Amino acid sequence: MPEPYESAVYATADRTFPARAPGGTGPPVPTLGVEEEFVLADRRTRAAVRKASAVVLAARHRMGEDHVAPEMAQAQVESISAVCRTGEELRREVARLRGGAAAVAAEQGCVLVASGSPVLGDPGPPPILDKARYHRIESRFGALVRHQCVNACHVHVGVTDRELAVRVVDHLRCWMPLLLALTANSPFFDGDDTGYASWRSMVWSRWPAAGPPPLLGSAARYETLVGRVVDSGAALDPAMLYWHVRPSRHVPTVEVRIADVLPEAADTVAYALLVRALVAHALSLVREGAPASDVPDMVLRAACWRAARYGTAGTLPATQAPDCPSLPVLRQTDDLWALVEPYLSRCGDDAPVGEWFDRVRRSGNGAMRQRRIAERHAGRLEAVVDDLAVPAT
């Protein structure tokens, strides 16, 4: 549950289109950045442990004040990348942050675990991290703060103009169920199999201003809607509109928030490049004057539930048009690839994204990986924690 940023980590994001793709042809390439949340687990028991304050303090000294942050739950650590322009820059940055945070966690007797929920233990609030804003959230929303140790991957793509960002969000909202199915990585919670592929998304959906965004239409309508939700008390401030995709309030980006934290750094990089390609596609549609799919909010919500429940298995309502039928997730993945592959190829990003798609086709998402490990070890969830532990560097 990030606060509005006080740091300048995305300060250069206002230079949204700093360079063209290799070869100098085509539209300029948006910048991007990634935020990843992790759970800390005790090295001996593998249960989630409340050591975030010590880990964050040491990690900031090692990796930069603006690149590591605490969360409401005291067993969570968030990494915040620098603004990146190429896939290779992002790969280096994600590896640096993951490896550095894991090394600091090891010094504190912990492992950094890339799971959307704590596999063993539930260290979520109370007590919450001692910050004034978090105390205000707890006072207003009560028991909603419980079990809040869930971990996401947020991708920021540079779009400097608010009007343009709102219209991009309108085009992106229909893709959120499929992105959730591909990235679901939280089947276990506190030692139990929840039956879901993404239990994190179900925990997060309890917040009154969470879920798919409505069709916004314009920046003016967006601002009016934000004001009305805040005035209602359902959000403490505009940052608490926890939509799956939204115009960021604190940096000039479109922020996609739907994914669980992914198991491997390569998965994170590929997913972020995929999101950037989707944003680029949406930008082209906006500039052409193409209307966004007017899929109803409840249909999107239902599709996100199915994605959270079943992940890549079975079918998912195809939400790219109001009357689309349900289709197998992997069929929709192929359609998504056909849509974004030209942009990915132009930027040199097709290889990492294609390799990630191939892994998902062969082996499924992170949730399926977690369950395979558990089954292979006769239900010992300690083995799942070990498999998801981020290597220290």
Contact 329, 198 (CB under 8 A): no
Mean pLDDT of the chain: 92
Share of the chain above pLDDT 70, in %: 93
Task: Say what the pLDDT of residue 25 is.
Answer: 55
Is residue 183 over pLDDT 70? yes
Rounded to whole angstroms, how far apart are CA atoms 360 and 337?
13
> pLDDT tier at 13 (50, 70, 90 boundaries)?
very low
Pairwise pLDDT comparison (153 vs 130), residue with the higher score: 153
> pLDDT tier at 3 (50, 70, 90 boundaries)?
very low
As a whole number, mean pLDDT of residues 85-95 equals 97
CATH of domain 11-388: 3.30.590.20
Rounded to whole angstroms, how far apart are CA atoms 193 and 314?
19
Rounded to whole angstroms, how far apart are CA atoms 103 and 129?
23
Buried b (16+ CB within 10 A) or exposed e, 120-156: bbbbbbeebbeeebbeebbeebeeebbbbbbbbbbbb
Task: Say what the pLDDT of residue 27 is.
Answer: 66
pTM: 0.94
Closest of 4, 274, 279, 259 to residue 160, by C-alpha: 279
As a whole number, mean pLDDT of residues 187-202 equals 98
Mind listing the pLDDT tens digit for each residue in 334-343? 999 999 999 9
Contact 279, 201 (CB under 8 A): no
Rounded to whole angstroms, how far apart are CA atoms 216 and 263?
33
Angle separating helix axes 350-363 and 265-288, nearest 10 degrees: 120
Domain boundaries, the chain: 11-388
Pairwise pLDDT comparison (304 vs 324), residue with the higher score: 304
Cβ-based neighbours of 144, under 8 Å, separated by 6 or more: 206, 207
Is residue 20 over pLDDT 70? no
